[in-house]
């Protein structure tokens, strides 16, 4: 879980493409604005929009800005995209599209497995779009997963991850509907985004050894993600319940971690180890039951 889940990354790219597709060429905008439709259809559209208002889509202000945006977003290499985003932001300091290009660079770095650069790009997006839910979740996951006990800035990084995740929960509904995604698919995608935010909050609490709060957040993630829940969430939920002396709930979570992970994988092996430990704890006649406090489970944080 050191990277944003594939579904979140896919939604991020779809959202980005939706933004690029609706960024109109300024030269064509006046023509589009003067086109009239069937009055009845126009009234129906206005009524629908009034019921479900959509976030304002950023638009270029000049032809030069539009051309530069199109050229930048055609790039498919993270480093080139980052350079193009920086150049675009310097050339068009008032542009509404600066965040889009950094978001595309974020996605490319994410796909390449470069977490440090993905975090850097997420923060660049948030400089221009502080309530961008996908960038907030990217930053939150990168910070929560890549923060260790020995980091000197551990407290600050976990605090930033928590703040980003909570802000993402507030603004998930602001994510625009990607083209080609129906209402049911979009609702499911938003559930996954909310689940990811709760995963981050659970991981932050887990790393702070606040296990009861971690249990609450991980259960909230499972409620949102359902069959899409990652095995690591179940593994951490098992350990959090174990450390909270709830062997029964820990065992249920460990079983789910085993069932939802690939045999031979690190998560699967750790889940089997945790399950074996729990089996011993649930057997009163074993000597281990007497001193279980001195034999706490490992801090399971697979990288």
pLDDT above 90 covers a percentage of the chain that reads 64
Rounded Cα distance, 207 and 144, in Å = 8
Looking at residue 40, its pLDDT comes to 44
> What average pLDDT score do residues 284-295 get?
54
Which two tokens mark 223? 């409620």
Residue 181: which pLDDT band, with cuts at 50, 70 and 90?
A: confident
| DSSP annotation of 180 | T
Query: What average pLDDT does the chain have?
Result: 83
pLDDT above 70 covers a percentage of the chain that reads 75
CATH 3.40.50.720 fits 6-27+44-216, yes or no: no
Closest CA to 161 of 60, 169, 172: 169
Rounded Cα distance, 215 and 227, in Å = 18
Residue 67: which pLDDT band, with cuts at 50, 70 and 90?
A: very high
What are the structural domain ranges in the chain?
6-27+44-216, 230-303
Lowest mean pLDDT across 31-45, 65-79, 189-203: 31-45
Looking at residue 77, its pLDDT comes to 92
What is the rounded end-to-end Cα distance, in angstroms, of the chain?
A: 7
Residue 58: which pLDDT band, with cuts at 50, 70 and 90?
A: confident
Rounded Cα distance, 222 and 216, in Å = 10
CA-to-CA dists, residue 206 to 47, 111, 166, 226, 246, angstroms: 46, 26, 16, 21, 16
Instruction: Give the global pTM.
Output: 0.81
Q: How many helices (H) and strands (E) does the chain have?
A: 14, 0
Which two tokens mark 62? 């000049």
CA-to-CA dists, residue 35 to 21, 27, 42, 172, 269, angstroms: 19, 14, 11, 33, 62
Residue 250 pLDDT more than 60?
A: yes
Residue 179: which pLDDT band, with cuts at 50, 70 and 90?
A: confident
Residue 300: which pLDDT band, with cuts at 50, 70 and 90?
A: low
Phi, psi for 246 (deg, rounded to 5) = -105, 80
Residue 156 pLDDT more than 80?
A: yes
Rounded Cα distance, 246 and 249, in Å = 6
Residue 273 pLDDT more than 50?
A: yes
* CA angle in degrees (0–180, nearest 5) for 268-299-200: 80
Lowest mean pLDDT across 24-38, 186-200, 270-284: 24-38
């Amino acid at each position: 879980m050191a990277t944003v889940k594939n579904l979140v990354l896919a939604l991020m790219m779809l959202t980005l493409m939706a933004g690029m597709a609706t960024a109109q060429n300024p030269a064509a905008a006046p023509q589009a604005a003067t086109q009239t439709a069937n009055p009845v259809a126009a009234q129906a559209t206005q009524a629908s929009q009034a019921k479900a208002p959509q976030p304002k889509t950023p638009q270029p202000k000049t032809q030069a800005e539009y051309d530069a945006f199109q050229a930048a977003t055609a790039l498919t290499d993270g480093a080139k995209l980052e350079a193009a985003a920086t150049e675009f932001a310097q050339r068009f300091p008032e542009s509404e599209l600066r965040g889009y290009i950094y978001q595309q660079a974020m996605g490319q770095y994410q796909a390449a497995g470069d977490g440090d650069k993905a975090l850097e790009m997420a923060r660049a997006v948030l400089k221009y779009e502080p309530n961008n839910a996908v960038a907030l979740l990217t930053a939150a996951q990168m910070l929560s997963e890549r923060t260790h006990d020995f980091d000197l800035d551990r407290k600050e990084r976990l605090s930033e991850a928590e703040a980003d995740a909570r802000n993402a929960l507030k603004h998930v509904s602001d994510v625009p509907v990607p083209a080609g995604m129906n209402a049911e698919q979009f609702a499911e995608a938003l559930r996954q985004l909310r689940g990811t935010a709760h995963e981050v909050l659970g991981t932050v609490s887990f790393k702070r050894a606040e296990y009861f709060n971690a249990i609450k957040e991980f259960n909230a993630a499972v409620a949102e993600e359902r069959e899409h829940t990652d095995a690591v969430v179940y593994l951490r939920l098992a350990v959090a319940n174990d450390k909270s002396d709830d062997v029964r709930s820990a065992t249920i979570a460990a079983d789910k971690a085993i069932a939802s992970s690939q045999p031979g994988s690190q998560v699967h092996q750790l889940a089997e180890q945790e399950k074996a430990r729990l089996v011993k704890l649930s057997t009163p006649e074993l000597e281990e039951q007497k001193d279980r406090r001195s034999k706490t489970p490992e801090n399971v944080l697979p990288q």
